[in-house]
Amino acid sequence: MLELAGVGKDDVVYDLGCGDGRIPVTAARKYGCHAAGYDIDPECIRMSRENVERHKMGPLDGQPGQRNKCSAEAQHGCGDE
C-alpha cells in the first residue's frame, strides 16, 4: 500500500485505525518519513507504542489526553512536526 501510494521521505503518513502500528512503523523505517497512527482501542495503542519502541523509532509524541495517538519517525527522519 505504501509503495503504491509513492510514499517518500518528505511525506507524512496518517493511519486511522492503526491497530498494532505496523503501517506507521514501516513507513518510517522503509521510506524515512514521519508517520502517525490513531486508534480508539487502548490495547491497540499500547501494542503500536510497543512496536514503535521495539523498532527504535522515535519520538513517541502522544500528549496527555491524546491517548489515541502513536507516532513513528525514522532516526534519520524528516524532522519534527
Q: What are phi and psi of 61, to 5 degrees?
A: -115, 30
At residue 35's C-alpha, the angle toward residues 76 and 25, to 5°, is 75
Q: Which helix (H) or strand (E) holds 69?
A: strand 69-73
CA distance 41 to 46: 9
- State pTM to two decimals: 0.73
Tens-digit pLDDT profile for the chain (81 aa)? Answer: 999 999 998 999 999 898 998 998 999 889 988 888 888 888 888 898 888 889 887 665 544 444 556 666 554 333 333
Domains by residue range for the chain, with CATH:
13-73 (3.40.50.150)
Give whole-number Cα distances, 49 to 4, 7, 64, 80, in Å.
Answer: 25, 22, 14, 18
